[in-house]
Structure formats: C-alpha cells, structure tokens
Amino acid sequence: MNGRLLAASVVAGLLVFAAALSAAEIPLDQRRSSYEDMSRDNKAMQDDDTTNPAMLFVLDGEALWNAKAGASGKSCADCHGDAATSMKGVAARYPAFDGGNGQPVNLEQRINISREQDQKSPPLAYESRELLALTAYIAMQSRGEPIAQFDDPRLKPFLEKGSAMFHQRQGQLNLSCAQCHDDNWGKSLAGNIIPQAHPTGYPIYRLEWQNLGSLQRRLRNCMTGIRAEPYPLGAPEYVDLELFLMWRARGMTMDAPGVRP
C-alpha cells in the first residue's frame, strides 16, 4: 500500500471510529460542564482567584516551576520559559501519545517523565501536593482554551479501550459510567445533580475532599462507589478512560483548576 492509500485508510478508519462513538454520546450542543450545575456560591468561589482554594496549589506550582531540581540543576522554566506562553493549551491536549512508551500519558505522567529525563530527578508521587501543584499551575495556563480533538491516529486503540471501559458494567452494583453520565445526567442522586462527566476543570478542589485532587482520584472514587475494585493510580486503564473523557469533551472550554462540591 502506497503512502497516499495508507493515509486515506487511516483517515477513513478514524472517521468510522468517531461516528461509532458519536452515535451513543451526548449531542454536542447539549454538553455542559459540571460547573454549570453548581450553586451560585460555589461558582463564585471558583471564579474569584482570591477565594478559589485551588489557587494555593497554583502558587506552590509556580514556585516549583521555577525551582532547580535534580542532578541537572535545571528548573522547568530553564527549558520551557514563561509557562503563560509555553504551556498555553497544553493541558487541553492531554492525555497525549508518548513515543517512548508507545501509549498515551496524562499530564501528571508527562511532568514525571520530564523530571526523570530532563532534570534527573525522582518522579513525584501521585496525589502528592507537589505533583498536584505543578499540574494545577500548568493546567491554569489553558483556562479558556478549547479541549483538543484527539485525532492522532495512534490514539485510536486507546480511545477504543477507554470507550469500552466507560460503557462496561462493573462492580457489585453492576453499573457503567455511561448509565449515570450519558443516560441520567441532570437528574438528582442523593441530593446531588448527576453531571455529564466532562473533565474541564481538573485538577479540582473538591469541597468534599477539602483538598485538590486529580481526575484519577475522582475515577477511583466512582469505582469504589459502584463497589468495583479500583486500579492503582497511574494504571493505563485510567489513562485510557481519561483520554476518552477528554475526547467526549472535545471543543469544550477548560476552566482549571476548578472547584466542585
């Protein structure tokens, strides 16, 4: 098969895949961020950087961005410069395919890859204040940016895995993500509105946690809630699911770091 035919075949395959996924998803014009379902007070907390508790992590993240680390003695800023410019839109494109690993990595994993390879420094622990802070600082640079289309053909098999996981019934309650977030969004569950599960604001400061947390922490909470065995943080299953969730939110506006109930 020559190059043009191969390219055409890849594009055709992606179009068929996208059509199959789109058939069961929420119509694009009906999508809404969970921000829209919050109370007026919670929206005001997120909108004002002086009251948004996630901004304390952002300040720590800025300090870490500029701090030299590891055997290389380099900071993130030494390579990437001003984050407001170099990181603009970056969080909206993750998870992204990593050629070294042959699979997608999320933003937290990309930070740790850079720490290990470029700074010659140990990786930061999942859900540690340092990793959450750096992630929040980088994610904030994508405020107002549209989430990517995720049309890299190398992502196709991982999107398929994420879609399968989203629609798979799991746990003792025998529930899937789609049953809540596609079929019953907007309804009330235990006094809370069921969101559509578009990850526009991660990492988020969740009032229930009284802390900042990653999307994977939220996914683990959901799995525990349906009485399913959660995967360890950083598991490829979570990254595939993150990728699918971001694909569902393609074109929506980033509002990280968010506040949620």
Give the active site residues.
222
Q: Which residue has the tokens 């569950």?
A: 189
DSSP assignment letter at 261: -
Could you give the CA distance from residue 201 to residue 226 in angstroms, rounded to a whole number? 23
Could you give the CA distance from residue 199 to residue 220 in angstroms, rounded to a whole number? 14
Q: Which residues contact 61 (CB under 8 A, 6 or more apart)?
A: 133, 134, 135, 136, 137, 138
104 forms beta bridges with 97
- Report the SS3 class of residue 160: helix
CB 108 within 8 A of CB 163: no
Could you give the CA distance from residue 65 to residue 46 in angstroms, rounded to a whole number? 23
